[in-house]
Amino acid sequence: MVGDLSLKTSCRYTGIVIGVLVLVILISGCMYGDETNLGNNTSHIKTYSAYNINFNYSSNWYAYNATTGSNNVVPGDLPLGGDVFTSNTNRSNNNDMIFVVSKDDFTVFDVQIIPTGDLSEQEGIKLIKNSMIPDDWNKLSNGTLTIDGKTAYEDIYTAHDQSYNEQMRYEVIYLIKNGKTYYINMQAPDKEFDKEKSNFNIIINSFKVQ
């Protein structure tokens, strides 16, 4: 009887110890998981800053800038997932500037700054549309959104890219601020565009003009 009682008591304590150990492991795992997720959220974002604009973008994209107009193209290539690209040069008097962040040849976010002077918003947009939008682009929809506290105008198109033999979707945004129109183009293969929307939103939601 004594032996049976000791065995039962030992088994009971062993069960309690195992239960406590399992609970500790589960709690530790949850805490580790939270820390990992937090780390991923913060480490997967980079910042682009040049020529009085800045925005965040996914770190598995790369970035560069090019200035056109009266100047030669000036690339500032970053390696995949590179650090912040910053320009200390004020080129606000150039005819236009182009900034690009890209995941690959197909999935691209680019901004072109075009001085529109005293033109009204609609006059400036019409002028840019006539010179920038190809005739063979098929318009799907249009609307407005808010970027950096300003109302911006949005058009969505699809078109077949003959160079890559790929059906593409283009989301074109016109943001007018400080006498300039920020012509924003987001593009990706039509079948992949919705999957990339979260990456585009990271940029749009953080886009600021100084």
pLDDT tens, position by position, 55-92: 999 989 988 765 543 333 333 333 333 333 333 333 34
Which of 129, 123, 75, 117 lies closest to 99 in space, CA to CA?
A: 75
> Across the 210 residues of the chain, what is the mean pLDDT of every consecutive 10-residue run?
49 47 40 32 76 89 62 33 32 56 90 88 92 95 97 98 94 94 96 96 95
Q: Render the burial of 104-117: b for 16+ CB within 10 Å, e for the rest.
A: eebbbbbbbbbbbe
Domain range list for the chain: 1-43, 46-209
pTM of the predicted model as reported, rounded to 2 decimal places:
0.68
For domain 46-209, the CATH superfamily is Mog1/PsbP, alpha/beta/alpha sandwich (3.40.1000.10)
